Structure 1
Amino acid sequence: MMRLFILCVLFPAKVLGIHRSADPRMVFTKTDMSLRKMCPPDSRRINQAHVQLVAYGSNSVLMNTGQDLYYLDFLKDQCHQIRKCGGARQDKSCNITVLHRRSGTNQVFLCESSETGTGCCNMEVSNRSGSADCTPSPSVNGIEDTIKEYVLEAGSPSVLIESSESEELFVTQSTTENTIGIYKFGLNRVRPTTPENALLAVEHQYLGLVASRKGDSTQDKLYAFFKEKNTDRGLECDVWLPFVAQVCMADKGGPKSKLQFQWTSQLKARLFCGNQARRSHYPELVNVAFYLKEDGAVSKVYGLFRNIWGNSAVCVYSIDDIKKVFKTSMFKGNKESIPDPRPGTCTQRLTSQDNLMKTLSFVQSYPEMEGRVFSMNGSDPLLVSHHHYTHIVLDTVHNERNDTLLYLSLESGKVHKVLDNRGEAFVIAEYSPFSNRTHILDILIHGPERKLYVSSSSEVVQVDVQSCERYGSHCENCVLARDPYCGWDNTLSQCVSATRKTLQDVEKGDHTICQLRVNRATGGAAPLRPYGRAATGSVPERTSLPLGCRYFLRCPVSSHKAEYTWHRPGNATTACSATEPVCVLLIDRMGPEEEGVYRCTADELGYTRIVAHFHLVYSAAPALGLYGGSSGQGVWRVVGVSFLAVAALLVLHSS
């Protein structure tokens, strides 16, 4: 029975290609991290389904909790409630539904929705008084005039297109019956296209919205990423299907006789995340993040997916590949010729009335593409993991490689920091910002300051994700971390914030560059040596034990990518699992044959270091009891888990 249980647990992981590389190299607890925590004054009013964090200046964020807007200053440890939805009216149906930081100003764009409609305005946030007041702005008049009759949903993705003349707001609706889709508000209001012969609205959930602008406003496009409930109820059918929709941002709707005030350019295409050869796929889209180039143009989309097993995957899509599918693919269900202009083309109606009506009818009848959107270069998922991820955000490090870091939140309340190494994922670290297991409502990375903000229903935590000293005091450990934020400073002999003068190898983690640099600095006269301080535990710790006692030696695990080995007297060795926080060696009965030197070494990509070093001697006095171990408390739990892991491996081996 035990054998069957273990095989059942391991089978999905083997089929889906899940392996140890999806686990973090280092695990940081709250005692290992630089943390600052803040609690909103009235956390009971926080909307459990929606919390939004927006970066606002140095060490500060805005927190939208649904009915309230807070200004959090982590440097001064101050939290101000700067806006209450509905003001003095105390309207319980009121929610802050849209919040955007305006570029280059201290203003935010904000919309509030209640049962009676929606109002929007620009808002000046005062850091000193802790207040926010609407300020008149002619550029948003078009949005205010066209949005006031609509009730928006809290947490729905939105995009604000800023302009000195007239601005536009694109929003999504996921659950409102018969009005599901993309909306545009401004001088020209456009609502979702009603499909031909659509009897019932299919359930959607919009997860991301991004504008792709090329300089010619007539050709700008908007992409919406969402999951749609599968109408096929077969036993082997997926519950959710992932999609991307495209609309032309300049679309004003059709003529009075066809699709008036509705999208005339909207199309959708299925996304695929998985491995076709192994017939593994991840059908449920969970979250998306967008890679922006230095000029602000979006070029890649990172999609977080989940499968029926609860495993997660991250797939990367090119905006150019998405555009190609909409330009070249056949239309699902269509068996006739494609009209000209091609449906989905951004045109200014420079065509005959007859051709225009054919195109509009075609869009309404066949809105889905036959072809699917696959990962960049037809590759497998960037990351496949047994962890249950819930959010994804990106930070681009503007170095020579323009490295991309992913921050993925877990259901447990932890966060993984992942390097996209040109199509291969490397999980750098795991952070535990909360004291207890909790549900993360939103995460935000403020790249310029290397600060990660994580919110739960009761607090917001600021995490310094550039604590380079945590990687260790040796050059090799710093380089093996493969963190684009960090590099080795030879002058200071420390792992510090990366500059052009510091040493790092993000691509491979080649620690031999540490030795080569020292050798060049000495002109080859000095022998190669580790680049940094002396190895930890190089001098053995002498411990005297009573004859016949049982004792545990503990070896702390820092890198979970290393292989740990205990070296015992007589050149005997014992391998140790790096999946536990501590490697434990049991001295079952102390006697003359157990006397000697014990070393625990960690080997990672050929770099071997001493982690723990003991010299055990026995005394003639008999043991009076069971000794706890080389480091006191906390050993027994680790030993128990380790023994269970060994037992499981033995069962598998015997099969």
Structure 2
Amino acid sequence: MGLNSRAAYLFALWTSHLFFLTAGDSRVNPRIITAPKGESRFPLEKRENLITLYHEEGDSSLLVGAEGKLYYFDFESSSNHVEDFPEQDSGACQKPEEEKNYLTFIGKYHDTLLICGTNACKPTCWNLADRNKSEVAAQGLAPFVRNQNSLVLVDGEAIYSTINLHQHNGKIPRFRQVRGTGELYTSDTVMQNPEFVKATVIKQDERRDDKIYYFFREDNPDRSPEAPLKVSRVAQLCKGDKGGTSSLSASKWTTFLKTTLVCVDPATKSNFNLLQDVFFVPSDKNWRETRVYGLFSNCWGYSAICVYTIGDIDTVFRTSKLKGYTKDMPHIRPGQCPWDGNHTPPETFKIADLHPEVEERVQPVVPRNSPLFHNKNRYQAIGVHRIQARDRHTYNVLYLVTDKGYIHKMVEMPHGVLNILEIQPFQPPAPILAMTLDHRRAKLYVSSPTEVVQVPMDMCEVYHRSCESCVMAKDPYCGWADGKCVSVKTNLTMLQNVTLESSLEICPRSVFKQQEVDSPESYRNVTVALFSRYFLHCPTESHAATYMWHHNGSRIQNCSSTHRPCIHFIKNMTHNHYGRYTCISEENGFSQTLVKEWLLKQPAPSQTLMQRSQAVSVSPSFWLGFLQMMALARLFQ
């Protein structure tokens, strides 16, 4: 199938209003519309089950690492090519499925593109330039087999990794510095069966205080029956750590400390203890205001977003007591970064090595000590993009990947989130294996097992129905101008209102008062057989609206906020059910007709055809019961 014929995919519209902290499962049966301008996609050569994405800000190209292949796609020029990275030797593998080369890392190092893969249990890296590749040392940069617990972080000359250096020893997971001024690793006792999630480097006011923060899950040391089996953590390390002074500590991090991330709904006491993903939003003003968006789940698979600041995390590590340590603190506190290239004093390191956890836990910052929101969806990944709306305020927009192959687009507000859109990037829905964001170009790059797609963040044409529909969507990317819903990038004089107040006064009164023409031509004619069943479906455009079905001008059904979408079910079609049906939504004084159907009776057929038509309309369960009765009758003859 050619690229042009594959270029259309479907989006599901899901505009909702305030999605408060205790929001429940808000999935609906969405309305499907055509893709917005700017979408494009590329197919993969074969079905993949492990994907690594690499994208540079402001560039239109994307690199996709897969099994034995590196894909290059340029979404602007539509050019693409594939580089083969086959496994070289499978003698070191113990299982046949491991005898492949899974590309697990793509990144820039020394201004050169570095690609690393498992290479059939013999990890290998390549420098790639102008489609020419050369092998380089790979120890600690790629796992021996596919491993979701691998984490690699590049920061200038330094590379940090959680990957074991040897295949048959060194089984205890560690956080290592594998490139840079020296090789360091965490002590074997400071983490218990860790599952690594994400890491970052935060540059502070003084270079000597620059920190590495990494986030992980580990076994809970609390063995009480009511305690969760896993607990979510954040750990700190000083970038200037030189290791210890003794032979046993010379290669160990001496500034390691860890603490617990709290994500509990105070209203229901629901504990979201399993950290799934983390996204960092840097501050333009102060490193302490850098936000950490944590995606958590609980034992039922429900999800929550808790937001922390680096400043709060730093304060906990600087001021909290060590758990289990009751003596006086030494002059150089555990976790304190050494000055002027000095080593951490041995007595300080010994205390931290025996008591690596601090007592105080990190609480969410927005809203205070509570999740930003939680619901019954199973989210797997998170991305956050900052957008300046027409009102000059900057809004954080969350993109959340579900286990059903959708992306939920939400806007963070002072008192909760607005659930703006549900995006279906693949048709039919497919698992989303990876997602990355381009903040400068406002694009999402998403991969399924068979294709990758570039999705524009400003999908304004989905709100095309009217000025009210556009403005009331509360999408900070979009506003009404020149008779259509357009992107804020193209028109700063648009009509827009992202606040929670009424938006109707924003639109011209002539538009608001415009009456729809109720003519037979404006209805969709549907022929329905007598005595059959029929569903009338009304799409949900806003969860703050009220939806009503009318039949021949009379209201026949209201839908509450918990019943989405609004469905009118006719169990048995009689003569009285035929006629005009409209679904009307009302919100803040604004009403619009979403569905207009005219149910028509079938033309009078012959008696034989009438019987056949009625037979078709009878449910399969009726015929099953009829056949059972006939069988019993013959049995007792």
Deviation at 1:98, TM superposition (A): 3.0
Distance in 1 (alpha carbons) for counterparts of 2:175 and 2:514: 59
Contact 2:57 2:438 in 1 (8 A): no
Partner of 1:246 in structure 2? 236
Matched, 1:456 2:439: no
Q: Can you list the C-alpha shifts for 1:354-409, whole angstroms capped at 9, x where unaligned?
A: x9221011111110011111101524211211111111112221442221111111
1:127-276 pair list within 5 angstroms: 131-133=131-133, 148=139, 152=143, 156-162=150-156, 167-173=157-163, 177-194=170-187, 202-214=192-204, 216-232=206-222, 234-257=224-247, 259-276=249-266
Pairing of 1:458-477 with structure 2 (within 5 A):
458-477=450-469
Query: 3-state DSSP class of the match of 2:510?
Result: coil
1:359 corresponds to 2:358: no
CA–CA distance in structure 1, aligned partners of residues 82 and 231 of structure 2: 40
Are 2:105 and 1:98 aligned? yes
Query: 2: distance between equivalents of 1:60 and 1:296?
Result: 32
* Secondary structure, counterpart of 2:426 in structure 1: coil
Matches within 5 A, 1:55-454: 55=56, 58-65=59-66, 67-82=68-83, 84=85, 92=99, 94-101=101-108, 107-112=112-117, 123-124=128-129, 126=130, 131-133=131-133, 148=139, 152=143, 156-162=150-156, 167-173=157-163, 177-194=170-187, 202-214=192-204, 216-232=206-222, 234-257=224-247, 259-294=249-284, 299-348=290-339, 356-377=345-366, 378-399=368-389, 400-422=392-414, 424-454=416-446
Structure 1 stretches of 5 or more lacking a match? Answer: 1-15, 136-143, 519-527, 629-635, 637-655
Deviates further, 251-260 or 185-194: 185-194
Q: Is the 8 A contact 2:33 2:462 kept in 1?
A: no
**2:538 is equivalent to residue 556 of structure 1:** yes
After superposition, give the CA deviation of every residue in 1:35-78 in whole Å (9 maximum; x if it has no partner): 533233244xx4x3553343476432101225432212234544
What is the aligned partner in structure 1 of residue 24 from structure 2? 19
Deviation at 1:264, TM superposition (A): 0.7
Secondary structure, counterpart of 1:362 in structure 2: helix
Report how far residue 279 of structure 1 moved: 1.8
8 Å Cα contact 1:473-1:532 kept in structure 2? no
1:29–1:432 CA contact under 8 A, matched in 2: no
1:569 touches 1:594 (CA, 8 Å); kept in 2?
Answer: no
Matched residues, number: 572
Question: What is the distance in 2 between the residues matched to 1:242 and 1:619?
Answer: 63
Range moving further from structure 2, 609-618 or 619-628:
619-628
| Contact kept? 1:546, 1:590, Cα under 8 Å | no
Q: Is the contact made by 2:140 and 2:178 (CA closer than 8 Å) also made in structure 1?
A: no
1:560-571 aligned at under 5 Å gives the runs 560-561=542-543, 562-569=545-552, 571=554
CA distance in 2, matches of 1:259, 1:370: 25
Question: 2 CA distance for matches of 1:507 and 1:185?
Answer: 48
| TM-align CA RMSD | 4.1
> Which letter maps to 2:417?
A
Show the counterpart of 2:630: none
Residue 181 of structure 1 aligns to a residue whose secondary structure is coil
Q: Which fold has the larger relative contact order, with Cα–Cα distance below 8 Å and residues 6 or more apart in sequence?
A: 2
Instruction: State the 1:123 CA deviation.
Output: 3.6
- In structure 2, the CA distance between the partners of 1:626 and 1:420, relative to structure 1 (3 Å rule), is farther
Partners of 2:498 and 2:555 in 1: CA distance: 36
Contact 2:528 2:599 in 1 (8 A): no
* Pairing of 1:482-631 with structure 2 (within 5 A): 482-489=474-481, 492-498=482-488, 499-508=491-500, 510-515=502-507, 518=508, 528-530=509-511, 535=516, 541=523, 552=534, 554-561=536-543, 562-569=545-552, 571-576=554-559, 583-584=567-568, 586=570, 598-613=581-596
Query: 1:537 touches 1:613 (CA, 8 Å); kept in 2?
Result: no
1:484–1:369 CA distance, 2 compared to 1 (3 A): same
Mapped partners of 2:418, 2:239: distance in 1: 37
Q: How far apart, in 2, do the equivalents of 1:567 and 1:481 lie?
A: 25
Contact 2:281–2:384 (8 Å) recurs in 1: yes
**2:29–2:539 Cα contact (<8 Å) kept:** no
Tell me, what secondary structure is at the counterpart of 1:504? coil
Query: Distance in 1 between the 2:346 and 2:501 partners?
Result: 59
Q: Which residue identity does 2:427 align to in structure 1?
A: S
TM-score by length of 2: 0.78
Aligned pair in 2 of structure 1 residues 115, 545: CA closer, same or farther (>3 Å)?
A: closer
- Could you say what secondary structure the match of 2:294 adopts? strand
Match of residue 626 from structure 2: none
Alignment gaps of 5+ in structure 2: 1-20, 93-98, 614-618, 620-637
Cα distance change on mapping 1:188 and 1:112 into 2, 3 Å: farther
- For 1:40 and 1:545, locate their aligned partners in 2 and report how far apart those are by CA, in whole Å: 43
2:497 and 2:506 in contact (8 A); partners too: no
- Residue 507 to residue 332, structure 1, CA distance change in 2 (3 Å): same
Q: Which moved more, 1:529-538 or 1:469-478?
A: 529-538
Task: Tell me what 2:9 maps to.
Answer: none
Tell me the percent identity.
26
Cα distance between partner residues in 2 of 1:75 and 1:245: 40
For the residue of structure 2 that corresponds to 1:530, the secondary structure is helix
